[in-house]
Amino acid sequence: MKQIICLHSLTPEQIQQLEEAAPGYEFIVKNKKDLSPELIQNAEVFLGWSKTIAETALQENSKLKWVQTWSAGVDTLPLERLREKGILLTNASGVHAIPLSESIFAMMLSFPRQIHAAVRNQMQNKWDSTLSAPGLTTLGEINGKTLVIAGVGEIGRETARLAKAFGMRVIGVRRSDKPEPNVDRMYTLDGLHEALGQADYIVNVLPLTNETRHIFNASAWNAAKNGVVFINVGRGPTVDTNALIEALNQGRIGGAALDVFEEEPLPAEHPLWSMEQVVITPHIAGDNDRYAERVIEIFTENLKAYVQGQKPPRNLVDYERMY
């Protein structure tokens, strides 16, 4: 019997849902550490991925035909080897739209309302109504401000919708300049610096590709409006960390909220930890209690097509673009 291996915990209801979508397939739900080489080699489909199974799963005699990742990003997968073997790859793009956009606004609102400064004062039993955190020295509001969203996919679209509800002007940056609802102007990546010059707030949700690696570098910060707030919930290596720190120290960036980093976990001695104008979260901005439900929804739709001999209709990764 053909086998599908899931590396993540599923409820009995979710397993039944998948079995009904793919009759004739055996579903195996196991931790990666509990998989024998024989099981890995015989699996036709993987739901989830791990470096520990890669070598065995990609051997010449393995039966692997399709990988559905549990994550939206695929930059850590062996893309070239998967492409060479003709393996279909789909990601979980779309599952993060609501939790990430809500995280973005939690981060964004903390700066004009100085919540991050108030929390630090609370830890010191300190009453200070001036809330004079470095970088942003007065209380303000986001209404009427300009938000630049770098990467207008599912997350960017939901972020733009929320921004409009807050009365913001929204500028988008992505590979295509095709218009989007709730985006006042769209630029291609070539126009990133022009867009940054108009931003009061920058949100980065770009995927990591050869084109976007270190796209937020010293030149980008020189092009940005002085005192801009930067929020990164995309990919750590899209940002040149040294250039970011320099811009923060010089006040060119008024504040930064960072969920992702070039090196994770962020080392305890890293200078970002001690910067009062920086908010740090440990790569959790997309986590929520409905994550598995949304991944299974995508996988089920793809699975129904796959067993009919069709390509998965949702989130098929383009190996050339790397997303």
Choose the catalytic residue: 264, 276, 293, 321: 264
Choose the catalytic residue: 116, 175, 235, 252: 235
Choose the catalytic residue: 169, 283, 294, 314: 283
80 tagged catalytic: no
Residues 172, 187 contacting (CB under 8 angstroms): yes
Q: Is the peptide bond before 265 cis (omega within 30 degrees of 0)?
A: yes
Q: What is the dihedral of CA 263, 75, 58, 68, to 10 degrees?
A: 120
20 tagged catalytic: no
264 tagged catalytic: yes
User: 138-142: long-range contacts at Cβ-Cβ below 8 A with a sequence spacing of 24 or more?
Assistant: 139/112, 139/113, 139/114, 140/112, 141/112, 142/108, 142/109, 142/112, 142/166, 142/167, 142/168, 142/200, 142/201
Would you mind telling me the total number of residues written for the chain in this entry? 323
Residues 204, 151 contacting (CB under 8 angstroms): yes
Euclidean distance between CA atoms 2 and 247, whole angstroms: 54
Per the listing, tokens 């969203």 go with: 149
Helix (H) or strand (E) holding 34: none
User: Annotated catalytic sites, by residue?
Assistant: 235, 264, 283
